[in-house]
């Protein structure tokens, strides 16, 4: 009779272990979703700042129309990319970053604009937003790494396959300036 209790105890422990593994996958999946939402919030903040920045620059640099249109188009593409395909979204955000860099490079030619308080405030807020985007992206990528690692390790990989816990992709924004080698002159 004691062996029935032993089998029952072993089955109960096994069921508890499976439930714990499943719940762990759910927790990690929800952390990834929360982190993706944080990235969305920061990207939306960035997208909302750009029209104000463009209109401020437009008043001083009216003949830079092509560049301003490129920034506006890049912003539209980034907004349209939404939260669908992560690769397309990252590409659109990379294009926007490039267009903004070009805009700030052109601003160097306009001392009155560089001294404009409205422009300076927008530039500072955009820089702050870029830092928040980097932090949110790192948080997202850390959670994706943890989730993907857990779902790929046996025996959780079996459960992940049974319950359709799919692989998530990292959100990579390529900052070409970070990849360039610094130029050293003597």
Is 129 inside a domain boundary? yes
Is 161 inside a domain boundary? no
- Could you tell me the residue range of the domain that residue 98 belongs to? 40-141
Consecutive 10-residue runs of the chain (186 residues): their mean pLDDT?
Answer: 88 91 93 92 90 82 79 89 79 88 83 80 88 93 95 90 91 60 42
Is 119 inside a domain boundary? yes
Is 132 inside a domain boundary? yes
Number of domains in the chain: 1
Q: What is the pTM of this model?
A: 0.77
Is 155 inside a domain boundary? no
Is 183 inside a domain boundary? no
pLDDT score of 66: 83
DSSP letter string over the chain? -HHHHHHHHHHHHHHHHHHHHHHHHHHHHHHHHHHHHHHHHHHHHHHHHHHHHHHHHHHH-TT-HHHHHHHHHHHHHHHHHTTS-HHHHHHHHHHHHHHHHHHHHHHTT-HHHHH-HHHHHHHHHHHHHHHHHHHHHHHHHHHHHHHHHHHHSTTHHHHHHHTT-----------HHHHSPPP---
Is 93 inside a domain boundary? yes
Is 29 inside a domain boundary? no
């Amino acid at each position: 009779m004691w062996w029935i209790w032993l089998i029952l105890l072993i089955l109960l422990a096994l069921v508890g272990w499976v439930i714990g593994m499943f719940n762990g996958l759910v927790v990690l999946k929800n952390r990834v979703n929360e982190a993706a939402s944080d990235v969305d919030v920061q990207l939306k903040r960035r997208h909302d700042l750009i029209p104000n920045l463009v209109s401020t620059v437009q008043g001083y640099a009216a003949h830079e129309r092509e560049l301003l249109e490129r920034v506006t188009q890049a912003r539209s593409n980034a907004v349209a990319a939404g939260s669908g395909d992560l690769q397309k979204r990252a590409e659109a955000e990379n294009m926007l970053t490039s267009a903004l860099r070009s805009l700030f490079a052109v601003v160097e030619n306009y001392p009155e604009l560089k001294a404009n308080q409205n422009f300076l405030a927008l530039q500072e807020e955009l820089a702050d937003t870029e830092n928040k985007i980097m932090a949110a992206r790192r948080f997202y990528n850390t959670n994706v790494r943890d989730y993907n690692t857990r779902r790929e390790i046996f025996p959780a990989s079996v459960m992940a396959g049974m319950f359709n816990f799919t692989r998530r992709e990292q959100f990579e924004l390529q900052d070409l300036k970070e990849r360039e080698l610094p130029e050293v002159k003597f």
